[in-house]
């Protein structure tokens, strides 16, 4: 059985409803777990994309073929020594569909980051995905 984008969106709406039901776990869903997807779309779009961290990338090309589906998640990651990190972010909120993006090359600064694996400086190269929030689709598959 092959899912169309419309039926996949309906499935996502159902999953989102289930995910937001109260459960025994009060853990914040501050992670994204991403899954590769298949999509037959072939559309191309161009856009100027602005990010708070790196400013505007003008003249980017977006391949409107879904590459990944990212869903809110939580994780109890335990280190080899049995410890857990207390770094916690904001609730992610909704699912995201990610598309391949190609922007003109430009120099980007290294950034200092901290997550549950520690603090470090990372070199930033180029963007490769643009992820958009999923909007509930109330049509039936």
The whole domain housing 65 covers 5-133
129 closest CA partner among 41, 65, 75: 65
At 13, list the tokens.
């709406």
| pTM, two decimal places | 0.69
Does the residue 139 lie in any domain? no
Mean pLDDT of the chain: 79
Does the residue 23 lie in any domain? yes
pLDDT the model gives residue 15: 46
Q: CA 48 → CA 8, 39, 42, 111, distances in Å?
A: 28, 24, 20, 22
Does the residue 141 lie in any domain? no
Does the residue 85 lie in any domain? yes
What domain count does the chain have?
1
pLDDT the model gives residue 50: 96
Residues 92-138 have pLDDT tens digits of: 788 999 999 999 999 999 999 988 788 999 999 999 999 999 987 76
Higher pLDDT, 22 or 69: 69
Tell whether the model's pLDDT for residue 43 goes beyond 90: yes
Beta carbons within 8 Å of 110's beta carbon, 6+ residues apart: 121, 122, 123, 124
């Amino acid at each position: 059985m092959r899912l169309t984008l419309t039926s996949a969106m309906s499935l996502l709406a159902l999953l989102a409803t289930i995910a937001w039901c109260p459960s025994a776990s009060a853990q914040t869903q501050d992670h994204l777990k991403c899954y590769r997807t298949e999509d037959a779309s072939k559309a191309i779009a161009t856009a100027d994309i602005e990010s708070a961290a790196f400013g505007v990338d003008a003249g980017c090309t977006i391949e409107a073929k879904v590459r990944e589906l990212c869903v809110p998640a939580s994780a109890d990651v335990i280190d080899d020594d049995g410890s857990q990190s207390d770094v916690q972010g904001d609730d992610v909120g909704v699912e995201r569909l990610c598309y391949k993006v190609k922007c003109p090359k430009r120099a980007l600064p290294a950034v200092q980051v901290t997550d549950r694996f520690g603090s470090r400086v990372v070199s930033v190269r180029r963007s490769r995905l643009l992820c958009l929030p999923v909007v509930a689709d109330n049509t039936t598959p």
